């Protein structure tokens, strides 16, 4: 059973509500282009199952927005292809980092998920961890290293990075889907790992290896019709046999197994849910998020927050919500309704 800030049953069935015209954004300029295409296709199918109209808009690797194969033009204040709401099923830079959210704001069109600020904060792994640190949220030791800092004084940069403890994981700070992640067991490997990260991003994050298992928890905002507040899903455990949860483990069939419920105690399960909702609220998220943890016995560490997690039927977030009483078609319907409500509320305010 999912945890919620206010008791609430799933909302009304989608077929009992007005039909929506939903623009589904797919692709994008980031290295997660193909993952986005898969997520967006699943979202489109679920919208159709829920009785809505889905308008496919694909953003090419060249950054051009196309509908039915034709480039489209965007005019501030005039919406997007007549859509009632936009579902930006985009992952990584130029889609999940606040850039597209800002564009949608200028188009004056409602959209699913976090706004500009929360998207930008959560996409920056260092900034997100800095925010969590101010709240005393337990995390792994970490350090952000900029490419220019490393170029100017490699020794000092390595010293600071190694201080988190070795072995450590090195990641590009603004990518997802485990792209560009390497493990460093000593200072030489740490230097080469930073080089790999810098090939993707000017900012790298170095994180100490954490004991225990990887646990993920989905958060869903509840609309006023469902009592408001937040719903935190049944936590799930990521089980894999590779050395760490890399891109291949995530996207190769059979590369990982999601265990629901996670093999953790009842007390730890509730604490994971509470921390997931705390992180969601603190980052200013809206609609949805997936919060990732390391759990070792009764000790838990927040790792990351993803504002637009993968959305294929086999992705973790839809599975977590499905196991918590919100089936996929209802999930995408609820998210679209939330985007509409948030946009309507913002329109009542004076700026």
- CA pair distance 161, 145, nearest whole angstrom: 7
**pLDDT greater than 60 at residue 308:** yes
Same domain, residue pair 215 and 343: yes
Tokens at 79, concatenated: 């919406």
Classify the C-alpha dihedral 54-59-65-66 as positive or negative.
negative
- CA pair distance 351, 347, nearest whole angstrom: 9
Q: Is 8 a domain residue?
A: no
- CA pair distance 88, 91, nearest whole angstrom: 9
Q: Is 5 a domain residue?
A: no
Domain hosting residue 54, numbered range? 14-112
- What count of other Cβ atoms lies within 10 Å of the Cβ of residue 62? 8
Same domain, residue pair 221 and 97: no
Measured CA distances, 229 to 7, 39, 287 (Å): 9, 26, 11
Total domains present in the chain: 3
pTM of the model: 0.89
**pLDDT greater than 90 at residue 255:** no
Q: Which range is least confidently modeled, 116-125, 224-233, 235-244?
A: 235-244
Q: What is the structure's pLDDT at 3?
A: 60
Q: What is the structure's pLDDT at 15?
A: 38
CATH value at residue 55: 3.40.50.20
Pairwise pLDDT comparison (150 vs 244), residue with the higher score: 150
**pLDDT greater than 50 at residue 323:** yes
| Nearest partner of 111 among 84, 85, 74, judged by Cα | 85
CATH value at residue 194: 3.30.1490.20
Same domain, residue pair 231 and 318: yes
Residue 225's pLDDT band (cuts 50, 70, 90): low
- CA pair distance 139, 144, nearest whole angstrom: 14
**pLDDT greater than 90 at residue 340:** yes
What percentage of the chain has pLDDT greater than the value 90? 83
Q: Is 9 a domain residue?
A: no
Measured CA distances, 296 to 13, 210, 211, 309, 311 (Å): 39, 9, 6, 24, 28
**pLDDT greater than 60 at residue 40:** yes
Of 208, 227, 254, the last residue of a domain is: 208
Q: Is 338 a domain residue?
A: yes
Question: β-strand 21-27 against 53-59: which pairing, if any?
Answer: parallel
Residue 115's pLDDT band (cuts 50, 70, 90): very high
3-state secondary structure of 271: helix
Of 208, 233, 250, the last residue of a domain is: 208
**pLDDT greater than 80 at residue 270:** yes
Of 186, 208, 230, the last residue of a domain is: 208
Pairwise pLDDT comparison (179 vs 260), residue with the higher score: 260
Same domain, residue pair 191 and 265: no
Strand partners, 256: 240
Q: Is 314 a domain residue?
A: yes
Measured CA distances, 225 to 51, 130, 240, 288, 326 (Å): 19, 35, 39, 17, 15
Q: Is 270 a domain residue?
A: yes
Same domain, residue pair 54 and 175: no
Residue 223's pLDDT band (cuts 50, 70, 90): confident
CATH value at residue 244: 3.30.470.20
| Nearest partner of 299 among 177, 180, 176, 212, judged by Cα | 212
Q: Is 134 a domain residue?
A: no
Question: β-strand 70-71 against 203-208: which pairing, if any?
Answer: unpaired
Q: What is the structure's pLDDT at 313?
A: 74
Same domain, residue pair 264 and 329: yes
Same domain, residue pair 326 and 275: yes
Same domain, residue pair 28 and 65: yes
Q: Is 4 a domain residue?
A: no
Q: Which range is least confidently modeled, 136-150, 161-175, 212-226?
A: 212-226
Same domain, residue pair 247 and 203: no
Residue 228's pLDDT band (cuts 50, 70, 90): confident
Same domain, residue pair 237 and 160: no
**pLDDT greater than 90 at residue 96:** yes
Same domain, residue pair 158 and 106: no
b/e per residue, 217-253, with b = 16+ CB within 10 A? bbbbbbbeebeeebbbbbbbbbebeeeebbbebbbee
Mean pLDDT of 275-289: 97
Q: Which range is least confidently modeled, 17-21, 26-30, 64-68?
A: 17-21
Q: Which range is least confidently modeled, 32-46, 201-215, 235-249, 287-301?
A: 235-249
Same domain, residue pair 173 and 75: no
Q: What is the structure's pLDDT at 245?
A: 47
Tokens at 300, concatenated: 């838990």
């Amino acid at each position: 059973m999912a945890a919620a800030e206010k008791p609430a049953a799933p909302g009304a069935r989608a077929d009992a509500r007005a039909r929506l015209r939903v623009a589904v954004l797919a692709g994008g300029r980031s290295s997660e282009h193909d993952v986005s295409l898969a997520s967006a296709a699943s979202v489109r199918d679920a919208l159709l199952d829920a009785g809505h109209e889905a308008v496919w808009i694909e953003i090419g690797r060249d950054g051009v927005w196309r509908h039915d194969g034709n480039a489209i033009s965007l005019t501030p204040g005039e919406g997007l292809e007549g859509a009632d709401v936009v579902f930006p099923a985009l992952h990584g830079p130029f889609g999940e980092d606040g850039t597209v959210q800002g564009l949608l704001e200028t188009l004056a069109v409602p959209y699913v998920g976090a706004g500009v600020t929360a998207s930008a904060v959560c996409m920056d792994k260092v900034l997100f961890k800095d925010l969590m640190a101010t709240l005393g949220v337990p995390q792994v030791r970490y350090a952000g290293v900029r490419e220019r800092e490393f170029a100017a004084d490699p020794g000092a940069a390595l010293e600071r990075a190694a201080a988190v403890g070795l072995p450590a994981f090195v990641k590009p700070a603004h990518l997802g889907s485990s792209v560009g992640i390497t493990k460093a067991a000593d200072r030489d490997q740490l230097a080469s790992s930073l080089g790999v990260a810098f090939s993707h991003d000017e900012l790298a994050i170095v994180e100490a290896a954490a004991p225990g298992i990887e646990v993920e928890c989905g958060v869903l905002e509840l609309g006023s019709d469902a009592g408001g507040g937040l719903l935190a899903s049944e936590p799930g455990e990521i089980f894999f046999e590779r050395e760490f949860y890399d891109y291949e483990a995530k996207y190769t069939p059979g590369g990982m197994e999601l265990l629901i419920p996670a093999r953790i105690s009842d007390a730890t399960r509730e604490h994971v849910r509470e921390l997931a909702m705390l992180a969601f609220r603190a980052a200013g998220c809206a609609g949805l998020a997936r919060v990732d943890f390391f759990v070792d016995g009764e000790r838990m560490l927040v790792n990351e927050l993803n504002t637009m997690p993968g959305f294929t039927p086999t992705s973790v977030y839809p599975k977590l919500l499905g196991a918590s009483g919100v089936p996929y078609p209802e999930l995408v319907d609820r998210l679209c309704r939330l985007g509409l409500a948030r946009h309507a509320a913002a329109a009542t305010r004076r700026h």
